[in-house]
Structure 1
């Protein structure tokens, strides 16, 4: 079975195990199958040391056995990462810790709840929840051999004054509410729509010149 596209790293112990420099290199390399013998040669490391790290990654479920090959004097185990990308749950790195869920069942990731929709912290909170939920659902869909149906909208707008941001947000909220009301179907599958805005980062060259 092919590796899943994305896996959410939401367990602190598992995350610490995977974040050492050599294990990050091994996980990146093992997007394609490889053995300790080949990896040791590529990374210029002793095979015993590579085997040690591979065993730890396998026990954590981050890599898996795909093939065994008889070699003179030993059996060569060919391993592969269980996902093409490992995404860190932002809630794992927040001070509050916990299980990443609020009383309403929606993941909170350890972020402080902020009601102000113009606060940067609120945007980060919502974005973190989106990463967490979509990654989990995409992984589950991948394991079932189906595609998770999502959509992404992106746009760029240049505001002449700070007050324009508030007026734009109010009008956009009204427009979204009208469209959502048109398509809302009792008994249909609910979707969560998130719209956020932030200043476009300056180009690298502009930052260097400033």
Structure 2
């Protein structure tokens, strides 16, 4: 279990709005490498005063940081760069309501909407816990397992999910989330492989 590349979950509504502005998105793209307001203005054809305003908004939102200074045309200019790590908007800011245990149990296990809502909740919870762990100088322990599988028919898919449900139920009994045990949430999902939704594969995937 290892931590991957740094990930910054944007969970503050003001920061999210700053990141989603079309012009600020362009600025963030250009700030993958340190740049100044003047350099960004030249690259994008925008007055540097306007660029400085948007850089200030991005800095206040915590999306960019100062990355040094450099001498240019007789004066010193500040350099800015995107905060290290990939940036992800918290899905819950985009209108994904949380799902309580009772609603999860009643959901259709083959519903794409249920999968998307579950994935959104996972990003929300893990992203926030990871940020808290980093601030405390700790590592968030997680595990991820993936496998490619195939089904000849919807009947096979139903049989697989029923069998997997039984297996997970047995495992859950062996590792109960009670007492002083460190609790984890295990989520098993499956979706058609990207690029297979065409012709016969598409009909099989949506049946």
Normalised by the shorter chain, which TM-score bucket?
Answer: 0.7 to 0.9
- State how far apart, in whole Å, the 1-side matches of 2:11 and 2:128 are: 10
Match of 1:189 in 2: 182
- State how far apart, in whole Å, the 2-side matches of 1:24 and 1:60 are: 13
Q: Tell me if 1:123 matches 2:123.
A: no
Change (3 A) 1:123 1:65: same
1:183 CA displacement: 4.2
Moved more, 116-125 or 82-91: 82-91
TM-score (norm 2): 0.75
Moved more, 160-169 or 85-94: 85-94
Match of 1:173 in 2: 165
Report if aligned partners of 1:6, 1:84 keep a CA contact under 8 Å in 2: yes
CA RMSD of aligned residues (A): 3.3
SS in 1 for 2:195: coil
Whose helix fraction is larger, Structure 1's or Structure 2's?
A: 2
Match of 2:205 in 1: none
Report if aligned partners of 1:7, 1:136 keep a CA contact under 8 Å in 2: no
- Could you list the structure 1 runs, at least 4 aligned residues long, displaced by more than 6 angstroms after superposition: 70-73
Cα deviation per residue 1:122-146 (whole Å; 9 max; x = unaligned)?
1111111011111112222233343
SS in 1 for 2:62: coil
- State how far apart, in whole Å, the 2-side matches of 1:31 and 1:147 are: 26
Cα deviation per residue 1:43-87 (whole Å; 9 max; x = unaligned)?
343322221210111122222234355767754222232342221
Report if aligned partners of 2:15, 2:58 keep a CA contact under 8 Å in 1: no
1:191-210 map, 5 Å: 191-203=184-196
1:179 CA displacement: 2.9
Report if aligned partners of 1:31, 1:84 keep a CA contact under 8 Å in 2: no
Match of 2:30 in 1: 29
- Structure 1: which 5+ runs fail to align? none
Moved more, 185-194 or 53-62: 185-194
Report if aligned partners of 2:14, 2:61 keep a CA contact under 8 Å in 1: no
Q: Tell me if 1:157 matches 2:143.
A: no
Report if aligned partners of 1:5, 1:142 keep a CA contact under 8 Å in 2: no
SS in 1 for 2:6: strand
- State how far apart, in whole Å, the 2-side matches of 1:160 and 1:66 are: 55
1:13 CA displacement: 4.0
- State how far apart, in whole Å, the 1-side matches of 2:136 and 2:168 are: 32
Match of 2:90 in 1: 89
Cα deviation per residue 1:151-200 (whole Å; 9 max; x = unaligned)?
21111222122122222111112212333433447422111111011222
- State how far apart, in whole Å, the 2-side matches of 1:14 and 1:152 are: 29
Report if aligned partners of 1:35, 1:76 keep a CA contact under 8 Å in 2: yes
Change (3 A) 1:33 1:189: farther
